[in-house]
Structures are given as C-alpha cells and as structure tokens.
C-alpha cells in the first residue's frame, strides 16, 4: 500500500477493530481559483479539487452499529446505533461530520447498514481548503458503495454532504466545496453553476502550477462574519425582489445604488462583479492566457478587500509579495471564506521557486509564523480506491 493516507487508515482500522478493512474511499479538499461568496448567491465559481485528501478504510457490519476511529485524533472512537436518533455531539467535532451524513441517509430512507470506519487525511485543517467538506463527501462516497445507493450521483453526494453541514453541523455554507470534492476532474478546474448545478471541467494550462500559501492567520470569528455577509447579500436580493444576487446586473445595481445601505451596496457589487470575473477567468484559463487570468484574480482580490471586506492585512501583504514575483505572468488572490486562511496563485512552473523563496524570506504572520506552502495538482473527485 503506497498511499500514506490509505496505509494509515488501514493500520488504524486493524488496531481498533482487529480485522482488515474491505473498502477504501477518498475525497479531496479544494482550492477556489476565483468566485468567492458567490455559491450561496446561486452564482458561479471556479475551484479545483486538490491532491490532498481524506481517506476512509471501512468494513460493512451485519448489525446496525456504526464505529468510527480518527487516526488524526489519537485513534479517538465514536460509536452509535442506527436505530436510535443520531444526535450532534459537543466533542469531538469531527464526529459530527460523519454523523451528519449518516443521519441524512437515514432521513432519506436509504438502506444504511452498520459500518466500521477508520479515517485519516492530509488536507490542511482550518486553512480554507475544505477539509471538512472532504470528510463529509468521503463518508457519502463510502455509503454510496452499498447496495441500494446505486442511484446516487456525485452531485447527490455533494448535496447530501452540504445538507449535513447546514442542518446537522450547523455551518451555513454554500455548495461549492462539496461539489468540488465530489466532482473534481484530474488536470481541470471546475466551472460550477451553483444554481443549475452544471459542472464544466476547464483544463489547466500545461505551463501553469497552482500554489497555495497558508498565511497561518487563524480565521477568527469566521462563522459569524460569514453569516453576516450571507444576510447582507440576502437583504440586497430581497430589496430588488429577486431570488438571489445571481439575478442582479450591474446596470440595475448602479441605477438604484442610492436605495441601498452603502455596506449592502458594496456586498452586492462584489457578488455581481465576481460572477462576471468567474466566466472571464474560465475563458482565460481555457485559452492558457495567464496574464488575463492574473488581471481577473487581482480584481477579485481587490473586490474581496474593498467591497466584501473579508481580507486581513497579513493576507493582503502575502498577495502583494507573490504578485511582485509573478508580475503579469500569472494570478494571485485570497481563496476561501476569508479573514485569514490561504492565498492561491496560478503561476508558470518556472516561477514556482522564486515565489516560494520570496514568501519564505518576506512573510511572517502577526504572531511570527512563516507561511506553509503547497504546490498542488487539480485532482479527481471522490471515489473508491484500490490499495
């Protein structure tokens, strides 16, 4: 077994349950190239699944018991019965991502059976790279291998994972992270229409690498700030009598700007302009036009900083450091929910080392930490794996 994640899950499984697992699944994290806070506005996003994943080794049981061991959390065990109500637990938090998906399956009347599972992963946690979505999607993908689940598509699994996070875990996220994890295509970004759920793979240019710089700035108050942004977007949509900001255009927004609270106006302007940038960025990526992609990523970052107000000074400085190295030859912006987390850059392979060296030399978080740097490849979505 060469994949380190799989061998760790297999070892944790055998230690905890005294038998060998019979099923292996994995689901990737994601990085969003452009299209931030547009998913819950029914808009457009351009993420890709990354080659950092959550893996599960499992064995179906003949009874109604679920036992889950977390190799990344000291082999902590969570155990429950499918015939009793599945409750949210205070601790450990990871257990809720598994419980929530199982609960969704039960509520949808799917023929869930008992299962032993061991989980391990290498998606950086708390960095905005969707480690939790990858866990939820991996659990969904695991149960989807059982008889009676054949009709579930990758989008169904993504929506079940999102429903679990919304209703069980209590995070009011959109659908981008789960769709990216469930539907990723190796070597491609995904142009996702978060309303129609259409997913269009866009090839990554051969000459470009994806770099992720984790600022190691803790994303404080991220949930409450995220929810406030959502409410402001919903306020703007209600004002215009439309289902979501996806349905607003710039001409209408400009003509009726004076009707809106200035903060709500800025939030709406970010979403409307960001949707346009996503479409243009997908075209630029498909054409291998890194200069145009760079302009769009810069405009996206400025919009997140000035209109949506979700960047922080350390992130702005990290973006400037990378931009200084890549100039017009690629793009860089904050990625994910905001208030810290990661910066993503699409850069020619030839500039990877220079960008890394500049950030290693120049960047420190407010509490003195260097950035953690990843070079990743757009990866395939969740699936079964043969060890």
Judged by beta carbon, residue 37 or residue 277, the one nearer ligand GAF is 37
* Edge-to-edge order in the sheet of strand 372-376: 331-335, 342-348, 208-214, 372-376
> What tokens does 23 get?
């099923």
Please state the closest distance from residue 45 (CB atom) to ligand GAF, in A: 7
* Cβ at position 125, least distance to ligand GAF in Å: 13
- Give me 239's structure tokens: 């004002």
Q: Is 177 a catalytic residue?
A: yes
Find the shortest distance in angstroms from Cβ 128 to ligand GAF: 6
Q: Which is nearer to ligand GAF, 40 or 213 (CB)?
A: 40
Nearest to 40 by CA among 243, 146, 194: 194
Write out the residues near ligand GAF by the rule CB under 6 A.
36-37, 39-40, 173-174, 176-177, 336-337
Largest Cα separation within the chain, whole Å, is 68
Instruction: Determine whether 266 is exposed, middle or buried from the number of CB atoms within 10 Å of its CB (0-12, 13-18, 19+).
Output: middle
Cβ-based nearer residue to ligand GAF, 39 or 78? 39
- Asked whether residue 38 is marked as a ligand-binding residue, the answer is yes
Which one is catalytic: 177, 198, 247, 367?
Answer: 177
Give whichever of 10 and 173 is closer to ligand GAF, judged by the CB atom: 173
Residues 6+ apart with CB under 8 A from 58: 13, 21, 22, 23, 24, 25, 115, 116, 117, 118, 142
Angle at 333 between CA 332 and CA 336, to 5 degrees: 135
Q: In the chain, where does DSSP find H-type helix?
A: 4-17, 93-107, 131-143, 154-163, 176-183, 222-240, 250-255, 262-286, 290-306, 313-326, 352-362
Q: Measured in whole angstroms, how far is the alpha carbon of residue 154 from the centre of its chain?
A: 15
- CB of 304 or CB of 322, closer to ligand GAF: 304
Dihedral sign of CA atoms 273, 274, 280, 281 in order: positive
307 is in an annotated binding site: no
- Ligand-binding site membership of 341 (annotated): no
Is 331 annotated to bind a ligand? Reply is no
- Tell me whether residue 132 is annotated as binding: yes
Q: Is 386 annotated as a binding residue?
A: no
CB of 193 to ligand GAF, least distance (A): 14
Smallest distance from ligand GAF to CB 334, Å: 10
Binding annotation: 36-39, 126-132, 165, 226
Residues designated as active site: 177
Binding annotation for substrate: 36-39, 226
């Amino acid at each position: 077994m060469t994949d380190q994640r799989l061998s760790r899950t297999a070892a944790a499984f055998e230690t905890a349950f005294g038998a060998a697992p019979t099923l292996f699944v994995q689901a990737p994290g994601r990085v969003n190239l452009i299209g931030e806070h547009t998913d819950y506005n029914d808009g457009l996003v351009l993420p890709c699944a990354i080659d950092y994943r959550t893996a599960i080794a499992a064995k179906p049981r003949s009874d109604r018991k679920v036992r889950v061991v977390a190799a990344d959390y000291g082999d902590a065990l969570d155990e429950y019965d499918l015939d009793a109500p599945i409750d949210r637990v205070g601790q450990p938090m990871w257990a809720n991502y598994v419980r929530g998906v199982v609960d969704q399956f039960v509520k949808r009347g799917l023929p869930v059976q008992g299962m032993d599972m061991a989980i391990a992963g290498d998606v950086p946690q708390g960095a905005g790279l969707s480690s939790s979505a990858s866990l939820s999607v991996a659990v969904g993908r695991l149960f989807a291998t059982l008889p009676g689940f054949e009709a579930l598509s990758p989008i169904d699994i993504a929506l079940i994972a999102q429903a679990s996070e919304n209703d069980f875990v209590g995070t009011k996220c959109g659908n981008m992270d789960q769709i990216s994890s469930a539907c990723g295509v190796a070597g491609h970004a995904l142009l996702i229409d978060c309303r129609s759920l259409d997913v269009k793979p866009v090839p990554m240019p051969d000459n470009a690498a994806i770099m992720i710089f984790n600022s190691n700035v803790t994303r404080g108050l991220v949930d409450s700030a995220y929810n406030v942004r959502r409410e402001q977007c919903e306020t703007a949509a209600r004002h215009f009598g439309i289902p979501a900001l996806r349905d607003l255009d710039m001409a209408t927004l400009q003509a009726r700007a004076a009707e809106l609270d200035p903060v709500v106006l800025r939030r709406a302007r970010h979403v409307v302009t960001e949707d346009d940038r996503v479409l243009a960025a997908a075209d630029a990526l498909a054409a291998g036009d890194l200069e145009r992609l760079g302009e769009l990523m810069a405009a996206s970052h400025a919009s997140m900083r000035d209109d949506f107000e979700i960047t922080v000074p350390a992130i702005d400085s990290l973006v400037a450091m990378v931009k200084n190295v890549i100039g017009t030859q690629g793009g860089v912006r904050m990625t994910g929910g905001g208030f810290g987390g990661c910066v993503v850059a699409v850069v020619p392979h030839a500039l990877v080392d220079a960008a890394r060296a500049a950030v290693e030399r120049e960047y420190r978080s407010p509490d003195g930490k260097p950035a953690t740097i990843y070079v990743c490849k757009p990866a395939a979505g969740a699936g079964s794996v043969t060890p």
